[in-house]
Amino acid sequence: MSRPPLPDFFDDLDACREALWRLLADGAERGRSGFHLPALATVDAEGRPRLRSVVLRAADAGSGTLRFHCDRRSDKAAELAARPACALQAYDADAKVQVRIEGTARLHTADAVAEAAWAEARAMSRVCYGTEPAPGTALAEGGAYTLPDAEAALTLGRPHFAAVTVRAERLDFLYLDRRGHRRAGWRRAEAGWTGTWLTP
């Protein structure tokens, strides 16, 4: 059986970094991409790791930033406000690529980033931010919470909405192929990204 050609980035370090950002940007656009739902790691007040899925909303190679959205009342928002260090990880089976990002998060609640993100959010998503009581509250029964209708969500949801941007500081790219895996890592320096091949 003939194998598909190796990807253009296979032995090209710069092309690996370009592919990493291209795959992330595509993941933000396309629900079926493995990069659409990265795992987000934060650190809690006791220094323990916390992990959950978030929808990747944007990835920008130029600034080296990613964006996702969350409820300001959620644990993740509190954890990021207290300790902005965070990490994201995702794998896409078609691309056979895992991406790991470590960086610093910033919560946007009332600035232009937050306004633009809220404006582009779908009605269905906005409704979630109007949930009562706050995310993570213990409930007597599973259904003992309320969601506003789409119109009320505009006023009830917006105060709880946060756009979170992550400024990437370390990148790790892993491509799996029987003909040879390829792994590369980069660190952000003043002058830009410095990268190296790594043993997979």
Given the rule CB under 6 A, which residues bind ligand FMN? 37, 50, 52-55, 68-71, 74-76, 135-136
**What's the closest the beta carbon of residue 193 comes to ligand FMN, in angstroms?**
27
Query: Distance of CA 8 to CAs 146, 167, 171, Å?
Result: 50, 27, 19
Rounded least distance, CB 43 to ligand FMN, Å: 12
> DSSP letter at 146?
B
Assess whether the previous peptide bond of 135 is cis (omega < 30° from 0): no
Between 107 and 184, whose beta carbon lies closer to ligand FMN? Answer: 107
Which pair of tokens denotes residue 197? Answer: 């091949």
Between 38 and 64, whose beta carbon lies closer to ligand FMN?
38
Please, are residues 120 and 107 in contact by the beta-carbon 8 Å criterion? Answer: no
Determine the Cα–Cα distance for residues 16 and 18; give it in Å rounded to an integer: 5
For residues 127 and 184, which CB has a smaller minimum distance to ligand FMN in the complex? 127
Report the residue number, 19 or 107, with the smaller CB distance to ligand FMN: 107
Residue keyed to tokens 């009332």: 110
Nearest-approach distance from CB 33 to ligand FMN, in angstroms: 13
Tell me the closest approach of the beta carbon of residue 165 to ligand FMN, in angstroms: 14
Query: Residue 136 or residue 180: which is nearer to ligand FMN going by CB?
Result: 136
Residue given tokens 């296979």 in the structure block: 10
Q: H or E segment at 105?
A: strand 97-108
Minimum distance, C-beta of residue 147 to ligand FMN, in the bound complex (Å): 15
For residues 133 and 33, give the distance between their C-alpha atoms in angstroms, rounded to a whole number. 32
